[in-house]
Chains A and B, each alone.
Chain A
Amino acid sequence: SLTISFPPHPPVSPISLFLPSLCISHHSLPHPFSLRHPPPSLPYLSFYYLSLPPQFHNLQELRQSPSLATKVFIQRDYSEGTVCRFQTKFPSELGSRIERTLFEDTVKTLNTYYAEAEKVGGQSYMEGCLACATAYFIFLCMETRYEKVLKKISGYIQEQNEKIYAPRGLLLTDPVERGMRVIEVSVFEDRGSSGSSPSSNVSSGISQR
């Protein structure tokens, strides 16, 4: 039969209320004179998360849709000035969910990407002088180095989410969507086999309901 059966659980699950806001990619890097198309967003990733919870791979378990337990915010590290760097200190709330080294590697890689973007050196001088000579009209056709690196970062975060964080019930949000202030790590309820209560796993957890 062609009937499509739906689970008895209402289709509007809490995850769908939160994930859209998390999975919206930076659709366009706003630029007053930009005529470029926005960089490819992560629609498929949003669909992936909306249709399948991160740690479940069959529709039966869709019934027990995972809900957001808490969010952890990795703050900026200003010890070297105003360059974009994030603290590599491992937050205690993630202690049980992911290995320390994996997490620190992610943050360190992100930091190197940002350092590369903000490096004041030969290439940035060339870019600056060329742009100034053209009264910055060249930015209408050319992508700045920073924008290129941000694209790379976006791809990297997506890859990390797929490979490492999603299987552990976590989700990283690209810092550019939070004003480059924080790396937002969404911690989803660890359903596993037991039906644990939403706020049971974190001492300073914030109940999102």
Chain B
Amino acid sequence: MSAVMITRKVRKWEKLPGKNTFCCDGRVMMARQKGVFYLTVFLIVGTCSLFFAFECPYLATHLSPAIPVFAIVLFLFVMAMLLRTSFSDPGVLPRALPEEATFIEMEIEAANGNVPAGQRPPPRIRNVQINGQIVKLKYCYTCKIFRPPRASHCSICDNCVDRFDHHCPWVGNCVGKRNYRYFYLFTLSLSLLTIYIFTFAIVHVVMRSVDSGFVKTLQDTPGTVLEVLVCFFTLWSVVGLTGFHSYLISLNQTTNEDIKGSWSGKNRLQNPYSHKNIVKNCCEVLCGPAYPSVLDRRGLTQDDVPVPASTTTQSNSVPQTTKTTAPLIPNEHTPDDAKSSIADSAIAHAEKISPSPKEEKPPTPAKVPPLASPETDVEASIIIAKEKAL
């Protein structure tokens, strides 16, 4: 009625900085380059399809029907973990709003004091003590925050990620606080699946060769060769990766810290986050609470995209910020060329008009409540001026 603009709801993910892609209206969040992720999916699905097509019928009849059943369960678990790792928010820290950024800048300047002209200002570092150890928090120039401990800025996704582990192209996303356990379970279950398929492919070939001969077996089930090849090469990398991450979990370290050698022991730097107990470390990482995302993707933004109404003369260049509360608050800026005819009709349609002296004819002498004149709401809203109050 009164609002001139019909707006389209804009969700926050459309305005988020950073180089992520979003799908399903903000529910899915991934990195920009997804090519390797598609390859991963293709390899897993392809190899498993070959296994189900070539090996499973024989093994189900000759060995046990439990074999394909377990393979299906394992395959579904692997895919669920992969998709959860790829699609979830790794723990992105939202960038500082302008007020917060300014506040931090002022604190830094106050701490640095006066830097003589020509000299470089000291690096922006904040020292905090964690469990008795001094940890340096670095300032992120992109996100304008002091990164929390264990957070790091991913240059590929252009976001600061909490408990940043690494950016994994195979899953097409960063691995951070929120999706690390899914990533670990993915690598673990994929190792199991690879070993499983590899083992049973070999078993199948051996059993069939005993019956029909080696060459005929390969002719009957050509898929087996492909499976064995893929599994062989995958095995080394995935099992190795699982072992590496198991080691990191037992020490409560991230890949990032390991690569940088943050807690390698030199300078007597010990990992302040470790509980010094393997079981406790594992429990914390794998069985800790499921952290919710602090990046609001599906919330609605305040600045909606205006879609002009059909018959409106768009005089309103100022976006209404009070739109949400005020169907009755009139438009601020109205053109002075309000037609007298429109004014008359609006006045005629208004239910009640407070009497007041009319200086000029065209401008309204009184506030015409928009609700009172539904037919000419557009015109009425143009006429309503802010000068007169009654």
Do A and B come from the same complex?
A: yes
Q: What is A's interface to B at a CB cutoff of 8 Å?
A: 1-8, 10-12, 16-17, 20-21, 24, 26-34, 38, 46-47, 50-51, 71, 73, 76, 78-82, 117-120, 124-125, 127-129, 131-132, 135-137, 139, 144-147, 150, 176-182, 184, 204, 206, 208
Chain A hits for B77, CB < 8 A: 135
Chain B hits for A132, CB < 8 A: 185
Please judge, given known A-B contacts A3-B369, A21-B302, whether A181 and B27 are in contact too, CB under 8 Å: no
Chain A hits for B88, CB < 8 A: 31-32
CB distance from B126 to the nearest CB of A (A): 9
> B103 near A: Cβ within 8 Å?
yes
Residue of A nearest to B151 (CB): A82
Please judge, given known A-B contacts A5-B390, A180-B294, whether A136 and B325 are in contact too, CB under 8 Å: no
Chain B hits for A7, CB < 8 A: 389
Chain A hits for B103, CB < 8 A: 71, 73, 206
Residue of A nearest to B319 (CB): A12
Chain A hits for B29, CB < 8 A: 32
What does DSSP make chain B's interface, helix, strand, loop or mixed? loop
Q: What is B's interface to A at a CB cutoff of 8 Å?
A: 26-29, 76-77, 80-81, 84, 87-89, 93-94, 96-97, 99-100, 102-104, 106, 110, 128-131, 135, 137, 145, 148-150, 163, 182, 185, 272-273, 283-284, 286-300, 302, 318, 320-322, 324-326, 328-330, 332, 351-354, 366-367, 369, 372, 386, 389-390
With A6-B330, A31-B292, A145-B289 known, 15 other A-B pairs at CB within 8 A are A6-B389, A11-B322, A16-B322, A20-B302, A26-B296, A27-B296, A30-B292, A73-B100, A73-B103, A81-B130, A120-B283, A128-B288, A129-B287, A180-B294, A208-B99
Chain A hits for B163, CB < 8 A: 82
* Nearest 10 CB-CB pairings of A with B: A27-B299, A128-B287, A135-B80, A179-B94, A2-B352, A11-B329, A144-B290, A32-B87, A30-B297, A3-B354
Contact partner of B284 (CB less than 8 A), chosen from A34, A50, A120, A178, is A120
Chain B hits for A32, CB < 8 A: 27-29, 84, 87-89
Cβ-defined contact, A34 with B27, below 8 A: yes
Chain B hits for A181, CB < 8 A: 93, 96, 100, 145, 148
Contact partner of A82 (CB less than 8 A), chosen from B76, B99, B148, B182, is B148
Please judge, given known A-B contacts A12-B332, A24-B299, whether A135 and B148 are in contact too, CB under 8 Å: no
Among B110, B163, B288, B289, the one with the most A-chain Cβ atoms within 10 Å of its Cβ is B289
Cβ-defined contact, A206 with B290, below 8 A: no
CB distance from B316 to the nearest CB of A (A): 12
Chain A hits for B87, CB < 8 A: 32-33
Q: List 14 A-B contacts (CB under 8 A).
A: A1-B354, A2-B351, A3-B366, A3-B367, A4-B367, A11-B326, A11-B330, A26-B299, A32-B29, A32-B84, A78-B128, A120-B283, A139-B290, A181-B100
Cβ-defined contact, A118 with B289, below 8 A: yes
Chain B hits for A127, CB < 8 A: 289-290
Chain A hits for B89, CB < 8 A: 30, 32
Q: How far is the CA of A79 from the CA of B367 in the complex (A)?
A: 60
Q: How far is the CA of A21 from the CA of B98 in the complex (A)?
A: 12
CB distance from B298 to the nearest CB of A (A): 5
Cβ-defined contact, A128 with B286, below 8 A: yes
Chain A hits for B328, CB < 8 A: 4
Cβ-defined contact, A16 with B148, below 8 A: no
Chain A hits for B302, CB < 8 A: 20-21, 24
CB distance from A86 to the nearest CB of B (A): 12
CB distance from A121 to the nearest CB of B (A): 9
Cβ-defined contact, B80 with A137, below 8 A: yes
Please judge, given known A-B contacts A3-B367, A82-B150, A120-B283, whether A46 and B390 are in contact too, CB under 8 Å: no
Residue of A nearest to B302 (CB): A20
Residue of B nearest to A208 (CB): B99
Chain A hits for B110, CB < 8 A: 204
Among B130, B135, B286, B296, the one with the most A-chain Cβ atoms within 10 Å of its Cβ is B296
Q: How far is the CA of A32 from the CA of B108 in the complex (A)?
A: 37
Chain A hits for B130, CB < 8 A: 78-81
Please judge, given known A-B contacts A28-B299, A184-B100, whether A131 and B294 are in contact too, CB under 8 Å: no
Q: How far is the CA of A33 from the CA of B81 in the complex (A)?
A: 12
Q: How far is the CA of A10 from the CA of B387 in the complex (A)?
A: 10
Q: How far is the CA of A182 from the CA of B94 in the complex (A)?
A: 12
Chain A hits for B287, CB < 8 A: 120, 124-125, 128-129
Among A11, A51, A118, A206, the one with the most B-chain Cβ atoms within 10 Å of its Cβ is A11
Cβ-defined contact, B100 with A178, below 8 A: yes
Chain A hits for B367, CB < 8 A: 3-6
Residue of B nearest to A124 (CB): B289
Please judge, given known A-B contacts A79-B130, A136-B84, A206-B103, whether A131 and B290 are in contact too, CB under 8 Å: yes
Chain A hits for B148, CB < 8 A: 76, 78, 82, 181
Residue of A nearest to B300 (CB): A27
Chain B hits for A2, CB < 8 A: 351-352, 369, 372
